[in-house]
Amino acid sequence: MSNVIVIPTLTDARSLQATIDTFNLVKVAKKPIAIIINNYTSETKFNHAKDYLIDALGRLPIFAIRTTTLFERVAKDGSEWFSKVHQVNGEYQLNKTRIAHEQVYDRIIALGAKK
């Protein structure tokens, strides 16, 4: 029902294998597929995971979302708090995180619009 399939993953071997398995299951839908490697702190681990996935699956959009407290804050304080992060009363330390997330989401939306 969506225009694009997004597969989230972590950098560990088990998660990467699950990502490959999931990719192989959903590719029959013939929709754009994007992978988000998230919740990592080491750039080296991210690069290894990205290279591993490219070797296994070929070139496809792979995005990154580093470890953040943004999800916990939205879960705790709700969407009203989230909508105010950019405002003067928002929290500066999460502003950069929100912008990074929005850039990933915008690129995924653009990928789905190409269909």
Q: Which of 24-28, 31-35, 92-96, 107-111 has the lowest mean pLDDT?
A: 92-96
Please give the average per-residue pLDDT across 19-45, as a whole number.
Answer: 92
Query: In this predicted structure, what is the pLDDT of residue 56?
Result: 97
Residue type, 9: T
Query: Are 68 and 36 a contacting pair, CB within 8 Å?
Result: no
pLDDT, tens digit (0-9, with 9 covering 90-100), for 54-92: 999 999 999 998 876 666 676 777 777 767 766 655 565
Query: In this predicted structure, what is the pLDDT of residue 21?
Result: 98
The answer for residues whose C-beta is within 8 angstroms of residue 63's C-beta and 6 or more apart is 34, 35, 36, 37, 104, 107, 108
CA atoms of 10 and 43, how far apart (whole Å)? 13
Judged by DSSP in three states, 39 sits in coil
Q: Is residue 12 over pLDDT 80?
A: yes
Q: Residue 63's closest CA among 22, 96, 107? A: 107
Query: Are 60 and 35 a contacting pair, CB within 8 Å?
Result: yes
Q: DSSP assignment, residue 3?
A: S
Q: Residue 38's closest CA among 54, 49, 24? A: 49
Query: In this predicted structure, what is the pLDDT of residue 93?
Result: 54
Query: In this predicted structure, what is the pLDDT of residue 23?
Result: 97
